[in-house]
Structure 1
Amino acid sequence: MAAALAGGLCLPLVCWPGAAAAEPGAVRIARIQGDTRISPLVGERVTGVTGVVTGVRAFGSRGFWVQDPVGDGDPATSEGIFVYTGDAVPEVAVGDAVEVEGTVEEYYPGGVDGGGQSLTQLTDPGVTVVSSGHELPEPVELTGDTLPRRYAPTGDPENGGSVEGLPLREDEFALDRYESLEGMVVSVADAPVVGPSTEYGELWVTLRPGENPTPRGGTRYSSYAAHNPGRLKVESLIPFAERPFPEANVGDRLTGTTTGPLDYDSFGGYTLAARELGEVADGGLARERTRPQRPGELAVAAYNVENLNPEDPPEKFERLAGAVVENLASPDVLAVEEIQDDSGPADDGTVTAGETLRLFTEAVVAAGGPRYEWRGIDPVDGADGGQPGGNIRNVLLFNPERVSFVDRPGGDAERATEVVGRRGEATLSHSPGRVAPTDEAWNDSRKPLVGEFRFRGRTVLVVANHFASKGGDQPTHGRFQPPNRSSEEQRLAQARAVRDFVRETREADGVRRPANVVVLGDLNDFEFSATAEALTGEGLLENALDSLPARERYTYVFDGQSQVLDQTLVSPAIRRYELDVVHINAEFADQASDHDPQVLRFRP
């Protein structure tokens, strides 16, 4: 492609001084990048930086990538770099030979406190276009065979667990391999899609389709050690107005060759910024339908409906309702999470959700389903987290033609329901009621809602949950390895509070018969987490997910990893049951919600 000549660097069609250190002060890109994640020249003003423009981004974080087509021969030092132009649209084109001066900066997408890695870039640049129309460096082809199977090195304990100062071992760790290519042109070919496309113009592919596969074409996150290094995010450098980003579902394939500079951002980490984007081939993924419950079976389902409120378009209500009827087979009891108040995200003091629920239940009837009744407790304004002003809460819907709700008045936002023994059975002092709502475990978080039901003469207690989010956790692709999961502390406390309530169904005065208890909902944590372990501790609950084949245990897709966030647990009195995670959302670009619902069927 090019050769170093006396007095300078020669590219096809043009030669100019500077890159071969013939001019005093000229700096090569590899020297700027260095062999760690932090440039040895950070903060310095550099001049005479030469290379070929390999990609231009005229929107978002504007700038362009430059690559030295010769390089220094060291695989640990990248030959590419991003030149940030701020608000200015870059006045260069792909194939231009340029000479750049600028200040070396380590930019942390999302902020330094987010825990992500930094992007080495040149800021406040002065750019000279020497000539145009040059051939581009050959892309580094990314394949499963060339990517290390280990994900990340262990961070330096003397530096807070950061990997930033460690020399790159690009042949040992996937994150080091990606870092050694930061800013360089890379390519992937015929890559399976493992994370659906989004409204932000991104999708996830895998270079290793055999790595923890799901039956539907995804890649499963099965433990804290299962990082699945084959995953890579793909975005487009082509503005949407010129070419809409393709719609892709899990199980599709990004065919042909996708080529562009390797970028890094806070939403997913290393990203192929595609200058040339392949075509999406339909993998034929279909939405699942569960079977209807039999006459003697009770069907209890959970569904996160993602901030549902009256301001949502009718189409969202119709799709959610249609899924309840067609895909979930109209369960007898439906625990819904993220029901917002009647004014939605408007922060106006409204806490009632009757209109939200009326619209939802009427949409179910219109879809051919039962006329559900509902029970819930309005929260204290602003006390339950979620979208500001939305006052999200858990609500229990039920089909009165199949199951009866036992109303026991007195429950409110701050009064805990208690277990009361009646005729030897565990019942509630208040139904519906909240579980330990004043416990600090629920600060700024949704409180569990429990209801007492009767089905074929048996009492069933259903506890609907939406545990605290993972906000504040360090990303798996970040500079701290292993990452800190600080949000887990609150969920662990919440799990213990729910477990303590379940224990009361066994130990309360007057309780002589084992209670039928179902604990379900969006727990915002994995089935292998300490949260899940706390819930199943002491043998009070069993995780129904364990009844499924391991490859089928997922309800959510994040960063190209199919994973569990929603769980269903049962007390020992429920001896035989069937759980079905109904995949209708998380794997699809077109989603009514970002979670997949689940249905539990059993005979009390």
Structure 2
Amino acid sequence: MTGQVKEKFGLTEIAEQIGQEPTKTGTAAVPAPVVIDQTRAETQGADKAYYESLENMLVTLPVSTLNSGGTNKFGETFVTPGTTRDRILEGEPLPASLLALDADAGAGNPVNPHKAPKSSTYVTADLFDEVRNATGPLAFSFGHYKLMPQPGAMPTVVKGPIAYPYNGLAATTAGQFRVVSFNVLNYFPVGVELDLSPVSQAEYNEKKARLADAIDDLLKRPDIVAVQEVYNLAVLQDLAATLGGYTAYLQEGNDSRSIDVGYLVKDGVSVANVRQFDRTTAGCDDSGRAYDRPPLAIDVTVAGEQFTIVNNHFKSKGGSGASGACQLQQANRLRDQVAALETAGREVIVLGDLNQFEFEPPLAALQTGSSLTNLWGSAPAEFRYSSHYQGALQTLDHVLVTDGLDDAVADFRYAPISTDYADRYLTNDGHKVADHNPAVLTLSFGAAQPEVPVTVSAQSRCIAGKAYVAVSARNDHTGPVGFEVESVFGAKSFTDVAAGASGYQSFATRQVSVAAGSVTVTATGTVGGQAATTVVTADYPAINCA
């Protein structure tokens, strides 16, 4: 063979001389594998000269440990030689000995590699599991050395301390209220293009069932789930129906792939005034707007406490978003919205996939000029991460609260159902259904008080050149309730409003224009045998009817 030795994407290869094909002279026996020396692997420099010397050779790794999470969605099992258990976190130097076991050798040659069946060399291993006697060629791709286990010669996996299924969350108790942020990864309907082919009915059914298991079983049915990467309201409503006892909320944004943010709200939770921030504002995101996925806000009333949740999905950290400049602009806009809410007397929870690490400028910007505090530092230290990438556990998903909610924070943690586990390829398993860990906030407001479930909306309208404020209050309870609607333009009472029915009042302002404002609805009824009162406010926009 005659050719030039060169590096292509980091892999050493021989580029054959044109017109001079190599000649096969026979078949040689496969040489015995070279045993990877743990000490040499750990002490090699940043250029990984030791691994370079073994590239394209048959090697054996006698024992290694998963310290970067479970086998990832690409079939990569990142390990370090030896038995030490120590999570590899973003911001820390990657160990020189880090390498991955790669499932490609048993994948066959699928038409669409994005939707290939499980590889026969997929290593089913979770965080801190041990992998023994992994043998195969040592390759290099995507910045890492990779040992390629061969069909029929799979390594042994020794289960470590991470329990499967995940059991790190207890159900909420009386007086507690749980809010979860969850990037659910491409929840698309049947027929929509995803990963080079349309979503099939079977794929859609499996995704829905696995999301339902994650929310219902692993996350213990939170009161509110703020979701990211949902295609439209219809699929979110379908998930709500599968779960039972939830209502879906979503508004379309500007994203070219039509991924949006939304909410699943448990029955009995009082919410109002669902609205987007800066949907049409010009800005730095790919659509030319401030946000491809505009923040979605919702007002919540719990045990007499009122606060606003703002669900976010900032610009991707890859590609044109790598510098973080756009995410910083988005953070500054969001911070200003929060500051305005605080000035109006509201407490705020900001959450979502912010596509920035906890130590980067956008997170600092959110906490400058508002009373927001990032709860990342209050999570259990060993679980402060929400994703894994290139062998490191990292945090892109965050929850921040204003200071009036500080005392109500009973617990904050990330539920590592995505990072810490390999995919079992089960059609109803919530582990690994997405590539982000849910961020779980549990609030405590003292003894639980019964609430009247009600949905309230307010709108500004022009009738015959005059401004009117229209208010609708819907009874979401199973029995009759009463409503007291109050505004600066008058009040209206409704008694014995039937389940599912609404009280409606249009207040005449007697003016050509009206400034933005809010109305208050007090709902009274009997819930669980106890008298209950719920107060909900709803905002209406300014309008000019001239």
TM-score in terms of structure 1 length:
0.61
Q: Describe the shift of the 1:582–1:437 C-alpha distance in structure 2 as closer, same or farther (beyond 3 A).
A: farther
The answer as to 2:265 corresponding to 1:398 is: yes
Q: CA deviation at 1:134?
A: 4.3
Find the residue that maps to 1:205 and give its secondary structure.
strand
Alpha-carbon distance between aligned partners in 2 of 1:272 and 1:395, rounded to the nearest angstrom: 41
- Give the AA of the match of 1:190: V
List per-residue Cα deviations over 1:414-441 (Å, max 9, x = no partner): xxxxxxxxxxxxxxxxx32224652414
1:88 is aligned to none
- Residues 250-269 of structure 1: pairs in structure 2 closer than 5 A: 250-251=126-127, 253=129, 255-266=131-142, 268-269=143-144
Alpha-carbon distance between aligned partners in 1 of 2:73 and 2:405, rounded to the nearest angstrom: 42
- Residues 545-560 of structure 1: pairs in structure 2 closer than 5 A: 545-560=376-391
Find the residue that maps to 1:573 and give its secondary structure.
helix
- Give the AA of the match of 1:262: L
The answer as to 2:129 corresponding to 1:282 is: no
Q: CA deviation at 1:183?
A: 3.1
2:515 is aligned to none
The answer as to 2:224 corresponding to 1:330 is: no
Q: Describe the shift of the 1:570–1:208 C-alpha distance in structure 2 as closer, same or farther (beyond 3 A).
A: farther
- Give the AA of the match of 2:15: L
Q: Describe the shift of the 1:137–1:127 C-alpha distance in structure 2 as closer, same or farther (beyond 3 A).
A: farther
Q: Describe the shift of the 1:256–1:584 C-alpha distance in structure 2 as closer, same or farther (beyond 3 A).
A: closer
The answer as to 2:283 corresponding to 1:440 is: yes
Instruction: Tell me, yes or no, if the aligned pair for 1:254 and 1:281 is still in contact at 8 Å.
Output: yes
2:335 is aligned to 499
The answer as to 2:307 corresponding to 1:466 is: no
Q: CA deviation at 1:147?
A: 2.8
Alpha-carbon distance between aligned partners in 2 of 1:288 and 1:487, rounded to the nearest angstrom: 37
List per-residue Cα deviations over 1:109-157 (Å, max 9, x = no partner): xxxxxxxx454433467323444434626615141x22356xxxxxxxx
Alpha-carbon distance between aligned partners in 1 of 2:221 and 2:183, rounded to the nearest angstrom: 16
2:14 is aligned to 121
Find the residue that maps to 2:40 and give its secondary structure.
coil
- Residues 305-320 of structure 1: pairs in structure 2 closer than 5 A: 305-311=184-190, 312-320=203-211
- Give the AA of the match of 2:390: D
Instruction: Tell me, yes or no, if the aligned pair for 1:255 and 1:280 is still in contact at 8 Å.
Output: yes
Q: Describe the shift of the 1:549–1:252 C-alpha distance in structure 2 as closer, same or farther (beyond 3 A).
A: closer
Match of 2:246 among 372, 375, 398: 372
Alpha-carbon distance between aligned partners in 1 of 2:78 and 2:355, rounded to the nearest angstrom: 22
Q: Describe the shift of the 1:540–1:316 C-alpha distance in structure 2 as closer, same or farther (beyond 3 A).
A: same
The answer as to 2:3 corresponding to 1:102 is: yes
- Give the AA of the match of 2:21: G
Q: CA deviation at 1:573?
A: 1.0
Find the residue that maps to 1:551 and give its secondary structure.
helix
Alpha-carbon distance between aligned partners in 2 of 1:142 and 1:533, rounded to the nearest angstrom: 43
Instruction: Tell me, yes or no, if the aligned pair for 1:196 and 1:587 is still in contact at 8 Å.
Output: yes
1:205 is aligned to 79
2:147 is aligned to 272
Instruction: Tell me, yes or no, if the aligned pair for 2:328 and 2:365 is still in contact at 8 Å.
Output: yes
**Percent identity for Structure 1 against Structure 2:** 26
Q: CA deviation at 1:547?
A: 0.6
Match of 2:421 among 588, 592, 596: 588
List per-residue Cα deviations over 1:307-365 (Å, max 9, x = no partner): 1123243232122112212222222211011111xxxxxxxxxxxx2320221001111
The answer as to 2:178 corresponding to 1:178 is: no
2:96 is aligned to 229
Q: Describe the shift of the 1:135–1:451 C-alpha distance in structure 2 as closer, same or farther (beyond 3 A).
A: closer
Alpha-carbon distance between aligned partners in 2 of 1:573 and 1:299, rounded to the nearest angstrom: 17
Alpha-carbon distance between aligned partners in 2 of 1:437 and 1:563, rounded to the nearest angstrom: 32
Alpha-carbon distance between aligned partners in 2 of 1:240 and 1:178, rounded to the nearest angstrom: 24
1:146 is aligned to 40
Find the residue that maps to 2:350 and give its secondary structure.
strand
Q: CA deviation at 1:192?
A: 1.5
Alpha-carbon distance between aligned partners in 2 of 1:172 and 1:269, rounded to the nearest angstrom: 14
Instruction: Tell me, yes or no, if the aligned pair for 2:71 and 2:124 is still in contact at 8 Å.
Output: yes
Alpha-carbon distance between aligned partners in 1 of 2:272 and 2:215, rounded to the nearest angstrom: 23
List per-residue Cα deviations over 1:211-242 (Å, max 9, x = no partner): 7x2xxxxx23141x432333211125744469
Instruction: Tell me, yes or no, if the aligned pair for 1:139 and 1:259 is still in contact at 8 Å.
Output: no
The answer as to 2:433 corresponding to 1:579 is: no
1:598 is aligned to 439
Find the residue that maps to 1:464 and give its secondary structure.
strand
Q: CA deviation at 1:465?
A: 0.9
Instruction: Tell me, yes or no, if the aligned pair for 2:69 and 2:128 is still in contact at 8 Å.
Output: no
Q: CA deviation at 1:248?
A: 1.5
- Give the AA of the match of 2:14: Q
- Give the AA of the match of 2:434: S
- Residues 30-45 of structure 1: pairs in structure 2 closer than 5 A: none
Match of 1:537 among 342, 347, 368: 368
Alpha-carbon distance between aligned partners in 2 of 1:594 and 1:439, rounded to the nearest angstrom: 30
The answer as to 2:352 corresponding to 1:518 is: no
2:297 is aligned to 450
Q: Describe the shift of the 1:560–1:460 C-alpha distance in structure 2 as closer, same or farther (beyond 3 A).
A: same
- Give the AA of the match of 1:291: A
Instruction: Tell me, yes or no, if the aligned pair for 2:77 and 2:101 is still in contact at 8 Å.
Output: yes
TM-score in terms of structure 2 length:
0.67
Gaps spanning 5+ residues in structure 1: where? Answer: 1-99, 109-116, 150-170, 214-218, 341-352, 366-370, 408-430, 474-484
Instruction: Tell me, yes or no, if the aligned pair for 2:33 and 2:135 is still in contact at 8 Å.
Output: no
Match of 1:359 among 226, 238, 245: 238
Alpha-carbon distance between aligned partners in 2 of 1:245 and 1:447, rounded to the nearest angstrom: 41
- Give the AA of the match of 1:305: V
Alpha-carbon distance between aligned partners in 1 of 2:88 and 2:130, rounded to the nearest angstrom: 19
List per-residue Cα deviations over 1:446-470 (Å, max 9, x = no partner): 2211111222222211010111222
Alpha-carbon distance between aligned partners in 2 of 1:295 and 1:301, rounded to the nearest angstrom: 18
- Give the AA of the match of 1:187: T
List per-residue Cα deviations over 1:151-174 (Å, max 9, x = no partner): xxxxxxxxxxxxxxxxxxxx4325
Q: Describe the shift of the 1:454–1:135 C-alpha distance in structure 2 as closer, same or farther (beyond 3 A).
A: closer
Instruction: Tell me, yes or no, if the aligned pair for 1:375 and 1:432 is still in contact at 8 Å.
Output: no
Find the residue that maps to 1:326 and give its secondary structure.
helix
Gaps spanning 5+ residues in structure 2: where? Answer: 110-118, 191-202, 424-431, 446-546
Alpha-carbon distance between aligned partners in 1 of 2:73 and 2:266, rounded to the nearest angstrom: 36
2:181 is aligned to 302
Alpha-carbon distance between aligned partners in 2 of 1:180 and 1:492, rounded to the nearest angstrom: 43
2:498 is aligned to none
- Give the AA of the match of 1:384: D
List per-residue Cα deviations over 1:240-271 (Å, max 9, x = no partner): 469811442323645432233332112x5221
Runs of 4+ residues over 6 Å off in structure 1: none
Match of 2:255 among 384, 387, 405: 384
- Give the AA of the match of 1:281: V
List per-residue Cα deviations over 1:544-577 (Å, max 9, x = no partner): 1111232210111223322212111111111231
Alpha-carbon distance between aligned partners in 1 of 2:184 and 2:30, rounded to the nearest angstrom: 50
Alpha-carbon distance between aligned partners in 2 of 1:360 and 1:249, rounded to the nearest angstrom: 29
Instruction: Tell me, yes or no, if the aligned pair for 2:127 and 2:421 is still in contact at 8 Å.
Output: no
List per-residue Cα deviations over 1:64-110 (Å, max 9, x = no partner): xxxxxxxxxxxxxxxxxxxxxxxxxxxxxxxxxxxx222444323xx
